[in-house]
Every structure is written in C-alpha cells, then in structure tokens.
C-alpha cells in the first residue's frame, strides 16, 4: 500500500482506531494516519491512549504482508480493544517543512547543475536534513550560494499540490523521477504520487509536505561536503523559530 491516510487527510493528527493484532511491543491498528517513513523521511511518532494508560509510538515497521506495525516504547506491552492516537504535531511540521524545502533545493540543483540527480536523502524530526547529489567535480561554493534563492522561494508562498499519474507516464517524463536509486512505490492501480510546487518543481514523492512554501521557516545550508568521488552532500537546518 502506498496511498497513506496522511496523504488523503493531512490534517488528521488525532484519531481513534481498534487494535487488530498485538505482539509484545507493537500493535496493528484498524486505521492509522501516521506516515510510516521511507525515501529518507523518518516516520511519525505519537502517543497512544489505551484502557490502562498511554504509551509512545516510536516508529512504524512494514512487514512482508504490508502490515503496518506501530512500535511501542514498552517492549513487553500487548494491547487490545479501542485506542486513541495523537500524532506529534511539531515533529510532523518540521518534517513537512524540510521535505518541502528539500524539493526546492532539488529543483535549484537540477536547474543549475545540468539535471544532477539525487543519490540519497535523510529528513529528520529534529529540524535538520541532508541531500546527496551526483555532482562529480562540482564547486561546493556554488552549492552554498543556493541558500538565498531557496529562501526566496519559501517566502513566495508557492502553492504545493499533490496528484497521481500512471507510473509509465512518470517514468517517461524527464525530471519527474529525480533519484538515481529509488522512487516511491506505485499504488495498486499503478499510479505514482506527484508533488508539485507551482512554478518551481514537479516530481514523484511519497512524503509529507506543506500546503504552500510560506508555511516553512527559513532554512540554512549548514554544510556542503564531498562524499566519495561523485557525491556532494548538502546539509540543511530550519531556522530557530525564536529568531523569527
């Protein structure tokens, strides 16, 4: 399954569900609005309320049968019955900001460096991220100089849209799949989810994003470093909210 409830209802951060199955330290729920992570993005975390108290959901694991197990911070706990789940709003917001900002960075690098592709990414819940690009021989100072343009697009409050296209169409459209190694899995109907930052970027992605770029704090390019002969790693961090 690659169409998540958080794609359909991105504002749903508090919900009720029933425990369908339980093993020590993890539960399978009848519904879940947590993003399970993937493609470099960390999963959501949450608080789960049950009849005897509450426990933290620290992540999501997907098994071979595509069951989404919610990992609990009590490794011995087994649950049953109805539960209420409250997703960590601040973490979801930070990740959505960084993921949207990473698309802007990707678009700028793709445009300025002759279609350079992404070789890896990591978007964390603590307000920092990194993107790796296939850029042998690139001038790292030129990558650092992207920061003002990146923040200018954030300030524009460009609309962010999600849609679906047939996977074959996505694969045949130059620039729609930007990674050398991975792409979001298609839906059971063979569709790929496309994220468009209007006037800026359009590419396949399964992550969480903002409604418009202006919802993001400004970002800093904190470091550009060489990772092997071909890769350049660009590290990003959200600005301190207290300084805005």
Q: What does the pLDDT look like over 118-150, one tens digit per residue?
A: 999 999 999 999 999 999 989 999 999 999 999
| Domain residue extents for the chain | 5-87, 92-243
Determine the pLDDT at residue 15. Answer: 97
Residue 186's pLDDT band (cuts 50, 70, 90): confident
Percentage of residues of the chain with pLDDT beyond 90: 81
Q: At what angle do helices 147-156 and 89-112 cross, to 10 degrees?
A: 120
Mean pLDDT in the chain?
93
Give the CATH number of domain 5-87; options: 3.40.1190.20, 3.30.430.20, 1.10.10.10, 2.40.30.130.
2.40.30.130
What CATH number labels 92-243?
A: 3.30.980.10
Residue 99's pLDDT band (cuts 50, 70, 90): very high
Residue 180's pLDDT band (cuts 50, 70, 90): low
Residue 2 pLDDT > 60, yes or no? Answer: no
Interval 29-47 mean pLDDT: 95
Distance CA 106, CA 101 (A): 9
**Strand ordering across the sheet containing 160-166:** 160-166, 191-197, 201-204
> Count of CB atoms within 10 A of residue 217's CB?
20
Cβ(47)–Cβ(121) below 8 Å = no
Question: Do the domains 92-243 and 5-87 match in fold?
Answer: no
More confident site: 241 or 80:
80
φ and ψ of 110, to 5 deg? -60, -40
Cβ(58)–Cβ(71) below 8 Å = yes
String of DSSP letters for 53-80? EEEEEEEEEE-TT--EEEEES-TT----
């Amino acid at each position: 399954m690659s169409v998540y409830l958080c794609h359909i209802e991105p504002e749903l951060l508090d919900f009720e569900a029933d425990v369908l199955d339980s093993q020590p330290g993890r539960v399978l729920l009848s519904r879940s609005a947590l993003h399970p992570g993937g493609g470099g993005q960390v999963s959501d975390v949450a608080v789960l309320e049950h009849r005897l108290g509450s426990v933290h959901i620290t992540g999501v694991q997907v098994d071979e049968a595509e069951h989404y197990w919610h990992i609990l911070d009590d490794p011995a706990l087994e649950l049953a019955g109805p539960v209420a789940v409250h997703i960590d709003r601040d973490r979801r917001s930070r990740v959505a900001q960084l993921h949207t900002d990473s698309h802007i960075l990707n678009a700028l690098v793709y445009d300025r460096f002759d279609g350079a592709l992404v070789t890896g990414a990591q978007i964390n819940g603590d307000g920092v991220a990194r993107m790796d690009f296939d850029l042998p021989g690139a001038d790292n100072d030129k990558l650092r100089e992207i920061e003002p343009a990146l923040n200018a697009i954030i300030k524009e409050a460009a609309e962010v849209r999600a849609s679906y296209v047939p996977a074959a169409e996505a694969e045949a459209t130059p620039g729609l799949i930007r990674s050398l190694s991975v792409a979001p899995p298609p839906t059971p109907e063979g569709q790929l989810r496309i994220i468009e930052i209007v006037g800026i970027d359009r590419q396949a992605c399964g992550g969480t994003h903002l409604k418009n770029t202006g919802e993001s704090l400004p970002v800093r390019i904190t470091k550009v470093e060489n990772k092997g002969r071909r890769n350049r790693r660009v590290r990003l961090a959200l600005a301190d909210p207290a300084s805005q």
